[in-house]
Structure 1
Amino acid sequence: MNDPIGRAIADFFERGEAPDILIDTNYTEGELLSPAFFFRNEDGMPEIETTALNLCRGKVLDVGAAAGCHALALQQRGLDVTALEKSVLSAGVMQKRGVEKVVCTDLFHFQEKGFDTILVLMNGAGIGETTGGLKKMLVHLKERLNENGQILIDSSDIRYLFEEDDGSVWIDLADDSYMGEMVYELTYKNDFSRFKWLFVDFETLSAISREAGLQCVLIKEGDHFDYLAQLTV
């Protein structure tokens, strides 16, 4: 099936409980993610996410909507929300939970335009996979925006993983790829997937945004090197 997150979301929705998802990366191993994370309400969201929800206006596109926690919160506020999710299982759960507009497809196959806000949360920059892929993603999202629209996107600066005790940063000079370009391996029961994921510092996001024809503003910083940015034309 190669959809461990979708399967975990579906199991949790049907049964009210599900085993943790095991996460290994090229930098870390043995991390666990509870499927309940995808069903949190506003009270359980970090401040970066609630700040993003408060900034949403007009017609909203929620990219990588998972189980629909952000889409449902925005619907309750009376906003017109389209939830975009490529996982068939996750999209089905959102429909059962009452998300009114669910589109199940890959982001780059989504061609609808006319959005005032595009929401890309839960380390949303990661969808780009690489710095080059992030630029491609931002150009594609820019084309979906109305004239005065905005993209609200979050990520994390993972330089702390490479810091030495003296504060210097260790980087493998033999590898010219950006240090935030990671490889993830997810396991849920007997379901496994391997994919690229990007964590990008704000300065790099700003530079890539300019290349994509967007202005980038830092909105909020979190407690663990994470941040929320607003991108506008």
Structure 2
Amino acid sequence: MSEDILGKALLDYHNLKYTEDIITISSLDEEDRLPLPYMFRSFEQMPLLEQIALEHCKGMVLDVGCGAGNHSLYLQNKGYEVTGLDASPGAVSVCRQRGVLKTIHADFLSLDGQQFDTLLLLMNGIGITGKLKKLDTYLNQMKRLLRPNGQVLLDSSNILYMYESDEEDGGYWIPQNVDYYGEVTFTMRYKNEVSEPFDWLYVDFNTLKRAATFNGLHCDMVKQGENDDYLARLTFL
């Protein structure tokens, strides 16, 4: 097993050593390719939900799971004070080399002593929660990091469609070993190295809204996507 697969791949691409993409293998028995050029996309190349989220940012911004720094750089160039946060040391290194002025290499739950006007969690950034039962913990951390009039902007997807049955009567087949159908386990493979398995959460909007309300947050749908995805905004009640 290898650590920081994502960081190694991002550093390779940034240093002009791009020869292959990251392969992701999920508990849904699916293998997919994560193209490294996509991780360095411009604003014009971003999906509509990401573009809308960036246009809704305000004040001091924390870019959670900043990756290669695309969102941070766009906002920084627009005059925002942005901090890029990532648990991957390689990703943080790439952000710094690309010109992101403020970066933090840390786990989201460990962050303390700072507050922001906008928390930005894009590319299904809420996925870091891993399991639905941990969502309350992450929402309360968001509350601690938000200023009184602050906001959280996040996108996610309802992946129930992936469990549609092939039977004529329709319905869904959901594994018994998960508490919620949006809980997925991934591993990454890159240049013959394989990551440790990690949990990732896809949360449907209604479930997110119920959890937000329970934890003292208001949840609005900013934009519904075309592929069971959405952009949501969380604020204090």
TM-score range (shorter-chain normalised) is over 0.9
SS at match of 2:100: coil
TM-fit CA distance, 1:167: 4.5
Could you tell me how far 1:222 is from its partner in structure 2? Answer: 1.6
Which residue does 2:192 correspond to in 1? 190
Alignment size in residue pairs: 232
Judged with a 3 Å threshold, the aligned counterparts in structure 2 of structure 1 residues 114 and 176 are, in CA distance, closer, same or farther, namely: closer
Q: Which amino acid aligns with 1:192?
A: V
Counterparts of 1:118 and 1:150, CA distance in 2:
6
Q: Is the 8 A contact 1:65 1:84 kept in 2?
A: yes
User: What's the CA shift string for 1:190-224, capped at 9, x where partnerless?
Assistant: 32221000011001111111122111111112221
Find the counterpart in structure 1 of residue 183 from structure 2.
181
1:1-40 equivalences under 5 Å are: 1-15=2-16, 17-40=18-41
Task: Give 3-state SS (helix, strand or coil) of 2:15's partner.
Answer: helix
Alignment of 1:57-136 (within 5 A): 57-136=58-137
Equivalent residues in 2 for 1:139-158, closer than 5 Å: 139-158=140-159
* TM-aligned CA distance change 1:200 to 1:19, over 3 Å: same
Cα pair distance change 1:148/1:167, threshold 3 Å: farther
Q: CA deviation at 1:36?
A: 1.2
Distance 1:192 1:13, change over 3 A: same
Letter of the aligned partner of 2:57 in structure 1?
C
Letter in 2 for 1:43: E
Q: Deviations over 1:130-155 (max 9, x none)?
A: 11222211110110000010000111
What is the deviation of 1:179?
A: 0.7
Equivalent in the alignment of 1:224:
227
- Amino acid of the structure 2 residue aligned with 1:151: V
**Higher mean C-alpha displacement, 140-149 vs 12-21:** 12-21
- CA deviation digits over 1:170-194, x for unaligned, max 9? 224x446101111001111132221
- 1:219–1:34 distance in 2 versus 1, CA, 3 Å: same
Mapped to 1, the partners of 2:79 and 2:224 lie a distance apart of 27
- Counterparts of 1:230 and 1:179, CA distance in 2: 23
What is aligned with 2:54?
A: 53
Report the 3-state secondary structure (helix = DSSP H, G, I; strand = E; otherwise coil) of the residue aligned with 1:178: coil
CA deviation after TM superposition for structure 1 residue 124, in Å: 1.0
Q: Percent identity?
A: 41
Question: What is the DSSP-based 3-state SS (H/G/I as helix, E as strand, rest coil) of the residue aligned with 1:143?
Answer: helix
Q: What SS is found at the alignment partner of 2:123?
A: coil
SS of the residue 1:15 aligns to? coil
Task: Give CA-to-partner distance per residue, 1:9-48, whole Å, 9 cap, x none.
Answer: 0000001634111111110322111111110010000000
Q: For the aligned residues, what is the CA RMSD?
A: 1.3
Cα distance between partner residues in 2 of 1:170 and 1:218: 28
So what's the TM-score if we normalise by structure 2? 0.94
Q: For each residue in 1:61-88, what CA deviation from the matched residue of structure 2 results, as whole angstroms up to 9, or x when unmatched?
A: 0000010000000001100001001111
Structure 1 spans left out of the alignment, 5+ residues: none
